[in-house]
């Protein structure tokens, strides 16, 4: 599992009438965490195989454990759980930054796609090798 984590705060616009984070926001939080994960991973040295790579989300599963509330500080952690021939699975954990308590997990499966053919395609070997290393770090 990677040592990556990032923090952000629950904003007023993200809560619902029950004064807890609205359920769809957890997927947005996972997206924020993964965006920062890729920035942290900095795979640009791979070159075109990475810079031109396209991944589409094909499945996202949220496991809600405990609600976040207004002004909670969230610590998002992410790692690559599995790498297939054309897909990869990320796990995003959303913890309360103050208590460390796990509030939700999000599993996201993405598929490498050929945009011209509009279908899945194998992950290039140079990218796979680097992703596998990330999965072990």
> What three-state secondary structure class fits 28?
helix
**Tens-digit pLDDT profile for residues 67-122:** 999 999 999 999 999 999 999 999 999 999 999 999 999 999 999 998 888 899 99
As a whole number of angstroms, the distance between CA 76 and CA 91 comes to 10
Pair 62, 23: CB distance under 8 Å: yes
Side-chain-side CA neighbours of 68 within 13 Å: the count stands at 35
**Tens-digit pLDDT profile for residues 16-71:** 999 999 999 999 999 999 999 999 998 888 888 888 889 999 999 999 999 999 99
């Amino acid at each position: 599992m990677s040592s990556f984590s990032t923090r952000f705060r629950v904003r007023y616009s993200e809560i619902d009438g029950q004064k807890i984070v609205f359920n769809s926001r957890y997927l947005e939080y996972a997206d924020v965490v993964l965006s920062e994960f890729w920035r942290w991973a900095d795979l640009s040295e791979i070159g075109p195989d990475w810079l031109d790579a396209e991944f589409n989300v094909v499945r996202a599963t949220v496991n809600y454990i405990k609600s976040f509330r207004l002004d909670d500080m969230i610590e998002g952690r992410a790692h690559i759980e599995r790498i297939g021939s054309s897909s990869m699975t990320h796990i995003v954990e959303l913890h309360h930054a103050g208590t460390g308590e796990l509030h939700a997990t999000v599993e996201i499966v993405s598929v490498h796609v050929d945009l011209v053919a509009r279908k899945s395609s194998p992950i290039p070997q140079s990218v796979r090798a680097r992703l596998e290393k990330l999965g072990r770090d």
